Amino acid sequence: MGFNKKTVEDIEVTGRRVLVRCDFNVPMKDGAITDESRLTGALPTIKYLMGKGGKVILCSHMGKAKGPDPKLTLAPVAARLGVLLGKDVIFAADPEVVGPNARAAVEAMKEGDVILLENTRFRPEEGKNEDGFSRDLASIADIFVNDAFGSAHRAHCSTSGVTKYVSTSVCGYLIQKELKFLGEALENPSRPFCAILGGAKVIDKIAVIDNLLNKVDTLIIGGGMAFTFLKARGYDIGSSLLDEGRIDYAHEMLEKADRLGVRLWLPLDHRVSAEYADVEGHVTGSANVPEGYMGLDIGPLSEEVFTEAIKEAKTIIWNGPMGVAEFKNFESGTRAIARAMAESGAVTIIGGGDSAAAVNSLGFGHRMTHVSTGGGASLEFLEGKELPGIAALNDK
How wide is the angle at C-alpha 138 spanned by C-alphas 96 and 85, nearest 5°? 80
- Among residues 102, 99, 26, the alpha carbon closest in space to that of 58 is found at 102
Q: Of 53, 99, 112, 376, which one is the catalytic site residue? A: 376
Instruction: Please give the full DSSP string across 303-334, using - where no structure is assigned.
Output: HHHHHHHHHH-SEEEEES-SS-TTSGGG-HHH
376 part of the active site: yes
367 part of the active site: no
Q: Of 164, 201, 314, 367, which one is the catalytic site residue? A: 201
d(CA 156, CA 170): 16
Q: Of 5, 17, 21, 38, which one is the catalytic site residue? A: 38
Query: Which residues are CB-neighbours of 18 under 8 A, at least 6 positions away?
Result: 49, 54, 55, 56, 57, 141, 142, 143, 144, 145
**In this structure, which amino acid lies at residue 46?**
I
Pairing of strands 282-283, 270-273: antiparallel
334, 29, 352, 170 alpha-carbon torsion, rounded to 10°:
-160
353 part of the active site: yes
171, 175, 180, 181 alpha-carbon torsion, rounded to 10°:
180
Q: Of 198, 281, 351, 353, which one is the catalytic site residue? A: 353
Is the bond leading into 192 cis (omega within 30 degrees of zero)?
yes
The residues annotated as belonging to the active site are 38, 201, 353, 376
